Amino acid sequence: MLALLQRVKEARVEIDGHTVGQIDAGLLILVCAERGDIETQAERLLAKILKLRIFSDDAGKMNRSVQDVNGGLLIVSQFTLAADTSGGNRPSFGNAAPPDEGRRLYDDFVARARAAHPVVQTGQFGADMQVHLVNDGPVTIPLTVR
In a domain, 21, yes or no: yes
- CATH number for the domain harbouring residue 72: 3.50.80.10
Q: What is the pTM of this model?
A: 0.96
Catalytic hit among 78, 109, 121, 122: 78
In one-letter notation, the amino acid at residue 34 is: E
Active site residue 80: yes
Catalytic hit among 6, 41, 55, 79: 79
| Domain span including residue 76 | 2-139
Active site residue 140: no
In a domain, 54, yes or no: yes
DSSP assigned state of 132: E
In a domain, 146, yes or no: no
Query: 4-41: per-residue pLDDT in tens?
Result: 999 999 999 999 999 999 999 999 999 999 999 999 99
For residue 146, pLDDT beyond 90: no
In a domain, 144, yes or no: no
In a domain, 145, yes or no: no
Q: Across the strands, what pairs with 28?
A: 6, 74
66 pLDDT tier (thresholds 50, 70, 90): very high
Active site residue 67: no
Mean pLDDT over 115-143 rounds to 97
